Structure 1
């Protein structure tokens, strides 16, 4: 008999060897209100059909847990893919990117899609769910799986697996439909309790439950600018012939890695030039832009972007002057408290708003001010001794996570402001049914940066990530559509470069800690990329902010 410790109820019970997780869940008498979807076994996420042969610690997960939501979402995607295959044997669907609190999907038919198509797909998905069809997991040699997908005409999966350096892999079957999903699925389609799919511009929007309240769907949030940026970068990927990681790996194996780096960097610089030109030449009511506001979530590359933008503004005859919002923090002891009574350093109200507003008014009126400086050692704001007055052609570059919050610059005329949202919006996909979360891209950047420059381990960074994400959801994301321009700081090749830096850090995360499951997932995800050495990156690359070797001073 096995001894299984259940973290959900802090109890240990005996089970026969070879019991699967679903049997163990029932044996503990658990009844999770939102339904169980997967479990962590010794801090590694497994599906509920996983069989246990040794003593283990087990924590059962529902959709309120990030890992549980990923399990739910993968399963829902497979149901969508099967519904499309059943209804449109000559068509296909690709899951492209998160937007509007859902996931944008492109339905590939030989015609435009209509509302009747959406109704048919949703109805077929519900039929598949009602039939409670089991998801079957098949493990085999990677080469065998690649040949099987090649035979089925699923080139995106065949390319990825042919460039995957592991001997074995696994794939799934749902009825007569075969597909790859790189993580756990629920045991059967009946586990999907709530979803929706609606027409969204030229494609579809797959809607999922709200994590905090899984009895309702996430609200659809208007994100036209975000969608436009994603689609722009997808077009760039198509120009280079790189839509999936399999395409990318094959291009690297053929010796095109340097070209991919150079073209990606050039496309990004071209976007910065366009933004600089728009700032320089915009004139509203006879008023030019005097203040550029740059915001974005953690590890989005705001600092390097602002420096590269400043270079382009200088070439246009402007005189950019950087100001950090961090220097306008209230003293640390005066920071607002969160619901747990802890200081909330992500809050908008960590800023001394009246002081900031007064200084900006003085500057824009042509008066001189003394700039503040926040001392992060003492936790107090000081005056820096630096004096500033806006002169001819001078433009202020204000960077900070709260820069797009309309309350920050409500008293400054719109004609004097230009707002930019920066984020790493990953547009390459693992394959057509497995997108790469933009948050994973940023988390990997942050793990590397925190290790190199802040003395934090990958475990430390992962443990804080949920809190960082919660702050972004509350204080940053609601204002991203306020931007005059959106800049995608993700580079097509970057995960292939970050891989060699991140993997050693992630392997150091011990398996007896909560962060291990996330570290293990990221390691598996990175294993699909062919590495590119960082010596091919220019010193002005945005990635240098995280890796080192930049020609900019930070």
Structure 2
């Protein structure tokens, strides 16, 4: 066999051509804090069962890396799906609904089963058996019709419907000891690397609690984010109301010509929810003087704020909008991060003292001149813009730190109404493959960045990890502080965004590091039939991303 000289994890190594990535990984396990899940050679991910034939540099990833974590979660999901099938057969259907703080919420649909600790103990013991046996997880390529037949035999009608819309003639199924399943993305080499997980009761189902990315041998205590969990449960009800639980259901609605009706129902649910939040504010209008709106990137904050203001006006409340960007400190005083770069997302990038002084004066009825930040000069300016609140008037303040009490530390709690907004995905690919909320927002942002800022997809993907890091530090820790939570996700949007996003993703060159994410998103969007957005109303939050909004966004 030919020898290849390859840079592996920064070390020049002689590698025999044809050896698997998994065999090579054994020599580099000490470079990772947890079990190796996947290899990267050049700008492509490689499953550990694949053979090496190229001399490009190789890196290995464990669950501390985002790609490795995805593979670990898929592997544990596969363990659970097999355990449900082996124990209960066709009488039970596992549904992996969504992610909650890095853990997976699941339900089992069955007329004969009650989800309790006895059932979870049986499932866990069965899954542990598979881990102990170190069963191989093998990829098989079948013709489309053969794959559909296998899914029918295992009573996975959701996958039968999903594969019906697949354009490719072949399908990859994964097999574990005679049990087959279809997964969106790569899988671990074997079950032996999947030993750290727990099952705990939650809501009407249970959580698969996953290990920490910092300590792969440890499962952090599960702290239930009650308000966010309630939103997820509400979205599941919305899905049932609209008859769309997964991508195949959405595609079937398109095929039947019912897409416009779906849009109108979804937008009506959004409008009803915004009106309910406005009612909550109105009922406290004798005390509430400001509404603080916070949410991660591409959650639709600007459109939501505009729609909320309209609903408040309908109740006789006049809103005054304030942008926290106008309270940036002068650029020379902007704090820096660990790399020495200016950190505009730090709460200390804002003049908290001036903000609180202005807000206190406005609350007591004073006339206050508001600042305006000049992004060209990096200086705060005053241009004669005054605010003075009359009776039945209120401030609406939008910014990433709105839920952090440090932002408005000098304002009494009763004077504030806090709203958290996020695009909490309510649709799944199928019963065992969920859709990542982060991926949905990335696609939104990619389309908007290109439409209105001239950025290509590679630039948006390249900055996404830093965006998410800022959200993890400045937004998500405070989401349970909200008085109300609004889910801006629409069940139909990915069918519309597909036609905008796919050309941008195909334009990402294979030589760029962003190609891995682009390739994954191309495959993801391939599950959806494309739909025109002609029937989306111009006040929809989705118009903020594709254009045509009636609001200044």
Give the TM-score category using the shorter length: over 0.9
On the 8 A contact 2:231/2:485 being kept in 1, the answer is yes
On the 8 A contact 2:79/2:127 being kept in 1, the answer is yes
1:418 matched residue in structure 2: 417
On the 8 A contact 1:419/1:482 being kept in 2, the answer is yes
1:17-36 equivalent positions in 2, closer than 5 A:
18-26=18-26, 32-36=32-36
How many residues of Structure 1 are paired with residues of Structure 2 in the alignment? Answer: 550
On the 8 A contact 2:29/2:35 being kept in 1, the answer is no
Q: Secondary structure at the match of 1:534?
A: coil
2:7 matched residue in structure 1: 6
Q: 1:201 Cα deviation (Å)?
A: 2.5
2:188 matched residue in structure 1: 186
Q: TM-score, normalised by structure 2?
A: 0.96
**1:496 is aligned to 2:456:** no
1:301 matched residue in structure 2: 300
Once residues 8 and 364 of structure 2 are traced to their aligned partners in structure 1, the CA distance between those partners, rounded to angstroms, is 61
Deviation track 1:160-183 (CA, whole Å, cap 9, x = no partner) reads 110122222211111132111111
Relative distance call for 1:382 and 1:59 in structure 2 (3 A) is: same
1:436 matched residue in structure 2: 435
1:77-116 equivalent positions in 2, closer than 5 A:
77-89=77-89, 90-110=91-111, 111-116=113-118
Once residues 211 and 30 of structure 1 are traced to their aligned partners in structure 2, the CA distance between those partners, rounded to angstroms, is 16
Between stretches 98-107 and 179-188, larger displacement belongs to: 98-107
On the 8 A contact 1:101/1:218 being kept in 2, the answer is no
2:16 matched residue in structure 1: 15
**1:531 is aligned to 2:530:** yes
1:165 matched residue in structure 2: 167
On the 8 A contact 1:156/1:246 being kept in 2, the answer is yes
On the 8 A contact 2:134/2:192 being kept in 1, the answer is yes
Q: Secondary structure at the match of 1:514?
A: coil
Relative distance call for 1:247 and 1:450 in structure 2 (3 A) is: same
1:207 matched residue in structure 2: 209
Structure 2, gaps ≥5 residues long: none
On the 8 A contact 1:107/1:204 being kept in 2, the answer is no
2:133 matched residue in structure 1: 131
Deviation track 1:70-123 (CA, whole Å, cap 9, x = no partner) reads 111100110111122222222222111111441111122334321112222222
Once residues 257 and 406 of structure 2 are traced to their aligned partners in structure 1, the CA distance between those partners, rounded to angstroms, is 50
Once residues 378 and 209 of structure 1 are traced to their aligned partners in structure 2, the CA distance between those partners, rounded to angstroms, is 47
Relative distance call for 1:337 and 1:153 in structure 2 (3 A) is: same
On the 8 A contact 1:15/1:24 being kept in 2, the answer is no
2:446 matched residue in structure 1: 447
Q: Secondary structure at the match of 1:339?
A: coil
Q: 1:140 Cα deviation (Å)?
A: 1.6
Once residues 150 and 106 of structure 2 are traced to their aligned partners in structure 1, the CA distance between those partners, rounded to angstroms, is 25
Deviation track 1:233-261 (CA, whole Å, cap 9, x = no partner) reads 11111112110101111111111111111
On the 8 A contact 2:33/2:216 being kept in 1, the answer is no
On the 8 A contact 1:2/1:55 being kept in 2, the answer is no
Q: 1:126 Cα deviation (Å)?
A: 1.3
1:255 matched residue in structure 2: 257
Name the Cα RMSD after superposition: 1.7
**1:155 is aligned to 2:157:** yes
Between stretches 257-266 and 299-308, larger displacement belongs to: 257-266
1:72 matched residue in structure 2: 72
Relative distance call for 1:131 and 1:113 in structure 2 (3 A) is: same
- Of the three residues 270, 273, 282, the one matched with 1:271 is 273
Deviation track 1:367-421 (CA, whole Å, cap 9, x = no partner) reads 0111111122222222232011001211111000100101222322222221110
Once residues 468 and 215 of structure 1 are traced to their aligned partners in structure 2, the CA distance between those partners, rounded to angstroms, is 28
Deviation track 1:177-221 (CA, whole Å, cap 9, x = no partner) reads 211111111110001142212112321111112223323224423
1:366-515 equivalent positions in 2, closer than 5 A:
366-515=365-514
Q: 1:29 Cα deviation (Å)?
A: 8.2
Relative distance call for 1:386 and 1:508 in structure 2 (3 A) is: same
Deviation track 1:511-545 (CA, whole Å, cap 9, x = no partner) reads 11211101111111010001111222111110111
Deviation track 1:436-481 (CA, whole Å, cap 9, x = no partner) reads 0100011111111122222322111111111111111111101101
Once residues 246 and 312 of structure 2 are traced to their aligned partners in structure 1, the CA distance between those partners, rounded to angstroms, is 35
Once residues 379 and 144 of structure 1 are traced to their aligned partners in structure 2, the CA distance between those partners, rounded to angstroms, is 62
1:548 matched residue in structure 2: 547
Structure 1, gaps ≥5 residues long: none
